[in-house]
Amino acid sequence: MKEKLTCYIIEDEHLAQEILEEYIRKVSFLELKGSYVSPLEAAGPLQEDNPDLLFLDINMPDLDGLSFIPMLNPKPMIILTTAYDQYALKAYELEVKDYLLKPFTFERFYKGVLRLYQEQSPRHIPEKKEEKAKTKNEPEYIFLKVGHRIQKVAIRNILFVEGMKDYLRIHTTEEKIMTLLNFAKLEELLPAQDFVRVHRSFLVAINKIDHIEKNRIQIADQIIPISDTYAEAFYKMLKGFQ
């Protein structure tokens, strides 16, 4: 395992830069190599030092962070720090490792950097394989109350779930099922690694997604919106499948 991840900060807000520096000092496996207020100022040192990790703001006066990312070669792991959540899809397309919404806590910061640190360790790979093996023990079916009967539903056939006031409409490859249930109860029944909430009214099966465009998901012939509330968690979950 790497002893430390070397990192840089590019942040034009003085207070935000100070908070990041303080958080980095608290983490034993992070080593801050430089803090800069603009991508133009940091470009030379980044090229020369080739750090492991870059904390990058998005909205900056000279050059915004999203435009700067494609210019980086070699490209470090990148964690975006921003007060705006509408850039989550673009961040995913640019293979950003994490998306921290200001103001973020130290706990949220630590979880993100710890995950990246562990990914650098060869010893972490078997753990991932073990986690995947455990999923084989997940249930293949759930049972739902539909009218006056209890219906068996194959989890592998579920495409997505749509909220309908007091009911949920389960869209499967074979039929649509109405059940008097809420999302919280249904999520307890479904394997968490296979299903994700993307909207107040929609939960989708990850492996049934055809494509994603402009914060909209296509599953079969249905277009499902991704709301700002769920976007960050959704795109982060997708990264776990890469």
> Considering only CA atoms, which of 20, 61, 5 is closest in space to residue 37?
61
* DSSP designation for 76: P
103 and 142 within one domain: no
What global pTM score does this model have? 0.54
pLDDT in tens, the chain (242 residues): 568 899 999 999 999 999 999 999 999 999 999 999 999 999 999 999 999 999 999 988 888 899 999 999 889 999 999 888 788 778 888 889 888 888 889 998 998 899 888 877 544 433 444 444 444 456 788 999 888 889 999 999 999 999 988 899 999 999 999 999 889 889 888 888 889 999 999 999 999 999 998 899 999 889 999 998 888 888 888 876 55
Look at phi and psi of residue 185 and say left if phi exceeds 0, alpha if psi is from -120 to 50, else beta.
alpha
What is residue 204's predicted lDDT score, i.e. its pLDDT?
95
The verdict on 79 and 112 lying in the same domain is yes
What distance in Å separates the CA atoms of residue 56 and residue 64, rounded to the nearest whole number? 9
Pairing assessment for the beta strands 77-82 and 98-101 based on DSSP bridges = parallel
The reply to whether 125 and 142 lie within a common domain is no
Pairwise CA distance, residues 105 & 19, whole Å = 10
The residue segments making up the domain with residue 185 are 138-239
User: Three-state SS for 37?
Assistant: coil
Residues 115 and 200 in one domain: no
Identify which of 180, 174, 124 has the alpha carbon closest to the alpha carbon of residue 148.
Answer: 180
Last residue within a domain, chosen from 107, 129, 151: 129
With CA atoms as reference, report the closest residue to 151 among 185, 173, 175, 135. Answer: 175
Number of structural domains (the chain) is: 2
Q: Are residues 114 and 164 in the same domain?
A: no
Give residue 123's pLDDT: 41
Query: Are 151 and 141 contacting, i.e. CB atoms less than 8 angstroms apart?
Result: no
| pLDDT the model gives residue 90 | 82
Mark whether 118 and 164 lie in a shared domain: no
Give the SS3 label for residue 126: helix
User: Do 45 and 13 share a structural domain?
Assistant: yes
Tell which of 97, 112, 129 closes a domain. Answer: 129
Assign residue 203 the CATH number of its domain.
2.40.50.1020
Q: Does one domain contain both 15 and 109?
A: yes
DSSP annotation of 53 reads: E
CA distances from 105 to 20, 35, 179, 221 (A): 10, 20, 39, 40
Q: Are residues 156 and 55 in the same domain?
A: no
Q: To which H or E segment does residue 10 belong?
A: strand 5-10
Query: Of 93, 109, 129, which one is at a domain's C-terminal end?
Result: 129
Residues 102 and 185 in one domain: no
pLDDT value at position 217? 95
- CB contact at 8 A, 176 and 169: yes
